[in-house]
Chain A
Amino acid sequence: MRLFLIFSFAVIAGLGCSDNPLAIIDDYNTPSDVRSAPSNAAIVIDFLSANDAVDFLGFNVYISSTSNMTDARVISNGASLPTFAYLAHTYSNIRLVITNDASVRPLTNGYTYYVAVSAYGTNNYLTRLFQQGYGGNQGGVIELMPTALSAAMPRREGVIVFSNNTFNASADDGIRYTQGAQTNCALFDDAGANEAAATADFYCSYTNIPGPGLVPYAVCGANNPNSFQMQSLGFQNDFYAMAQMPAGGYTAAGTHYICASNHMYALYSPNSGGTYVKIWVTSITVGARVTVTARWAAVVGSSKL
């Protein structure tokens, strides 16, 4: 028997003189390390991929409202698959953003969705085998159904800019969380109250420290009405890379943390069965006034945001 050694194929087919045709499907490299992060009526999915196969076409994203994927649907790209065409064969970190589309895949804030990603391609030879009754795949599809699920609950998010002029022991402006029909954070004007009476859920303050000088701190208001506690998560490159808020480590309201650009902060309150707010300071400028720009996201009943 002659045997050809080949590389980088998804399907290998053989025809023998007296044999039936046979096809061996070589699985595509399954998308690995699939991570999801909620966004506003959207879900951000990150994963690793490297597919050599020449008939590999891209990725299918499945979405379900149940953890056992009972109502799983593949998200189609118009009328065709895969969900996301991706023909590169190199090792890649891939980020896909699944957005709300009311008619075909509503993504409603406050609801949990389960997502999975598969590698997908087609090969006409499998269609032919199917038509000839040799057991090929209908439609010639090559796809190993994904088993790794990632859950995410979309929620509101936004950007707040707050600015203070007398920053010494003062909480002029800050951020206040409210829970209405949806979670929300908004600019909170404390109208001159001092830090001891701070009722903002998040604000910045200065302390004059011998050596470093004026140091800006991020603080969860000592008397915030939402019973929030806080912790710093340090420098972060990306609002979505850090989606899972810690289960513990929150410190009493009023505790000072260094406030610096790209630092992320997690707020937790036991209210409503667990309320989490994440705040990512994208810029802080210090001058006559101190101006902080922060992205926020808030969620009830989940520590993933």
Chain B
Amino acid sequence: MWPCLLLLFSCGEQNPNAIDLDLNRPFITRVVPGDKKITVEFVAQNREYGFDGYNIYIAEDKTRVREQIVLSPTLVKPTLKADATTSVVTYTFTIEHNVTYYRSYTAGTVGNISIFNGVGYNIWVAAYRAQPEKESTYDLNLVSVVYPRPEFLSYTALNTTGLSFPDAVGRITFSNAGGAFCVIETNGGGVQDMGYASSLTGIVTAPTNGYSSAPCILHAGHLYGIVTSTGVYAKLFVRSVSGTFDSAVIDYCYQPTANVTSY
């Protein structure tokens, strides 16, 4: 056990700024998968001497997450500059395929990052001080995993059509039976109405239960969860439903990797 207090005895000038403080650790609150991109949302409070901002690390292998850092647009650390603050602040950073830069410490390379749909990426955020260089303490529990997925925006669904996720095994069918525009999963999976949302990313973790094989009425502004018999999770957001219930404009996405609830 560390002692509660450390006494420093020195003769000469005492520089309190040279004393090495631990940096408070940021917490990831939400990681939003996109189409070949990832948006990291985290909260933090830091005002340690020399505090510079936050470094975001990304890796497919959770145990090697510290080996590849996301770089700022000017290719330097920290990933995200930030000011010292006494209150908790929410930060957002988006990592995008072929746009965002990274540095690999193992390969010694710098370049555009590759983000593939259906692949799991582990994300860790560290508070950072440049001089002398230091980061907040690493903890495996602070690493979040996210799976980017393809998405299709403003798709017009007709009452005579359907969609497959990602193949014919999982399929949904639209209909307008009974004076409403409905969706039904027709091959052993299910649908559920997850309620009012502002967009397709209102919910980013699929519920693993609660799906029904019955037709589900589509309401404008609602988000719907879908699971296929093979464990593929999909969701759709209803932008509008036509007054005659023969079409609806939807945004939808599915997670290509089965049994992964990140979407």
- B 213-251 to A, binary, CB cutoff 8 A, 1 in contact else 0: 111110101100100000000000000000000000000
A39 adjacent to chain B (CB < 8 Å) = no
Best-buried of B29, B196, B222 by chain A (most CB within 10 Å): B196
B27 adjacent to chain A (CB < 8 Å) = yes
Q: Are B193 and A2 in contact (CB under 8 A)?
A: no
B137 adjacent to chain A (CB < 8 Å) = yes
Interfacial chain A residues near B209, Cβ < 8 Å: 235, 262
- Smallest CB separation, A279 vs chain B (Å): 13
Q: Which of A4-47 contact B (CB under 8 A)?
A: 4-19, 22, 24, 26-30, 32-33
Q: Are B195 and A234 in contact (CB under 8 A)?
A: yes
Q: Are A260 and B8 in contact (CB under 8 A)?
A: no
Interfacial chain A residues near B212, Cβ < 8 Å: 212, 215, 258, 260
Interface residues contributed by chain B, number (CB under 8 Å): 56
Looking at B16-24, B110-118, B164-172, the stretch in contact with chain A turns out to be: B16-24
Interface residues contributed by chain A, number (CB under 8 Å): 65
Q: Are A54 and B2 in contact (CB under 8 A)?
A: yes
Q: Are B137 and A234 in contact (CB under 8 A)?
A: no
Q: Are A91 and B142 in contact (CB under 8 A)?
A: yes
A24 to B5, CA, bound (A): 11
Q: Are A144 and B195 in contact (CB under 8 A)?
A: no
Interfacial chain A residues near B7, Cβ < 8 Å: 13-15
Interfacial chain A residues near B139, Cβ < 8 Å: 50, 90-91
Q: Are B29 and A262 in contact (CB under 8 A)?
A: no
- Smallest CB separation, B184 vs chain A (Å): 8
Known: A16-B9, A30-B87, A232-B195. 13 other contacts (CB 8 A): A1-B10, A1-B15, A1-B18, A4-B8, A14-B7, A22-B16, A231-B193, A234-B192, A249-B196, A251-B219, A256-B217, A258-B212, A261-B210
Nearest first, the 9 A-B pairs at minimum CB distance are A249-B196, A235-B210, A246-B196, A234-B194, A235-B207, A147-B87, A91-B141, A14-B8, A233-B195
Chain A interface residues toward B at CB < 8 A: 1-19, 22, 24, 26-30, 32-33, 48, 50, 52, 54-55, 90-91, 123, 125, 144, 147-148, 207, 209, 211-212, 215, 231-235, 246-251, 255-258, 260-263, 266
9 examples of A-B residue contacts, CB within 8 angstroms? A2-B9, A3-B8, A7-B2, A16-B12, A16-B14, A231-B195, A249-B222, A258-B192, A258-B214
